[in-house]
Amino acid sequence: MKILVTGAAGFIGFHLSTLLLSRGHQVVGIDNINDYYDVNLKYARLKELGVDKASASQFQKEVRSETHPEFKFSRINLEDREVINNLFETEKFEVVCNLAAQAGVRYSIENPHAYVDSNIVGYVNLLEACRNTGVKHLVYASSSSVYGLNSKIPFSTNDTVDTPISLYAASKKSNELMAHTYSHLFGFATTGLRFFTVYGPWGRPDMAAYLFAEGIRYDKPIKVFNHGKMERDFTYVGDIVQGVMRIIEGEVTTRKEKGELYKVYNIGNNNSVKLMDYIANIEKNLGKKAEKIMMDMQPGDVAKTWADVSELIKDYNYSPNTSVEEGVKKFIDWYKIYNNIN
């Protein structure tokens, strides 16, 4: 299958590309390699995929992987409509997996325009390109943040999600709405995936696991929001990409007759872990205690997330099976190697 993975230099996009290649698919990866967090981590991920920094850093240069013959990468901005259209015309993708986005809840309060540019303008460019070049299936990242002020636990895709509390969440909810419109009008399948706090090797430096590990490593106090009274459905990245892969490989030809062209799923670990237990696992694996500053709840944040993933289990046999103990150990093992810590 020929698949476009957007955000291929990002955390989840890198893992997904690696998995799809191991399954024998042809993967074209794109990413604008923005500097929302350290670009060296993005280039290091690309290096793992056989693409070197000197080539990858040039805009619109198609780079063939040195280690994975079925992988090509180009530095492309989703907002660049003409470039996106040309790429789709040339490649004729069967499936598109859109993981490129401006991520992060807190940053959307400081820099709202980045979210509109990538998550709205860029996303519409992809929808249009899918429509115009006969893409059969668009799989795209939504987020648990769409549940906003929802207090019913666990979060179900049957719950109403009309109360986003960050522009990030609003942009992801908009993606779902626009996908519905395109599936309805133009008859291609769209599948939105509401990811729940993904962590693991090659993880993002702006997310809790990395921030906590850095704090502990450098003896800097870590900020613990809502005085530690937070719970998250922490999901190991390996489980996430297994789920995404099943959806990409799943057949979509019967979805139209079943009236299911448009679908949205939760993709989480199916339970909720106390933030303090998560921190304790990081401390254990680093062999050092964190100095904690207890803080109030941050604007835009929610106290608890928990994914009801029964639909994904039913339809795709999704099976998240990595415990937080196991997953945090894998993350810290990688963190030590990446940062040359003995």
Q: Is 68 in the site for ligand NAD (CB under 6 A)?
A: no
Binding mask 110-149 for ligand NAD (x = CB under 6 A): --------x---x------------------x-x------
* Minimal distance, residue 73 CB to ligand NAD, in Å: 12
Per annotation, catalytic residue among 37, 43, 140, 168: 168
The DSSP annotation for 62-125 comes to -EE-SS-TTEEEEE--TT-HHHHHHHHHHH--SEEEE--S---STHHHH-HHHHIIIIIIIHHH
* Minimal distance, residue 116 CB to ligand NAD, in Å: 11
* CA 94 – CA 111 distance, rounded (Å): 34
Q: Decide if 168 is catalytic.
A: yes
Q: Is 212 in the site for ligand NAD (CB under 6 A)?
A: no
Q: Is 10 in the site for ligand NAD (CB under 6 A)?
A: yes
Q: Is 31 in the site for ligand NAD (CB under 6 A)?
A: yes
| Long-range contacts at 175-178 (CB < 8 A, ≥ 24 apart) | 175/119, 175/123, 175/140, 175/142, 176/142, 176/146, 176/264, 178/123, 178/124, 178/127
Q: Is 108 in the site for ligand NAD (CB under 6 A)?
A: no
Closest CA to 164 of 175, 179, 178, 153: 175
Q: Is 33 in the site for ligand NAD (CB under 6 A)?
A: yes
* Minimal distance, residue 145 CB to ligand NAD, in Å: 7
Pairing of strands 137-143, 235-236: unpaired
Q: Is 12 in the site for ligand NAD (CB under 6 A)?
A: yes
* CA 84 – CA 81 distance, rounded (Å): 5
| Residues binding ligand NAD (CB under 6 A) | 7, 9-13, 31-34, 42, 77-79, 99-103, 118, 122, 141, 143, 195, 197-198, 204
> What residues are labeled active site?
168
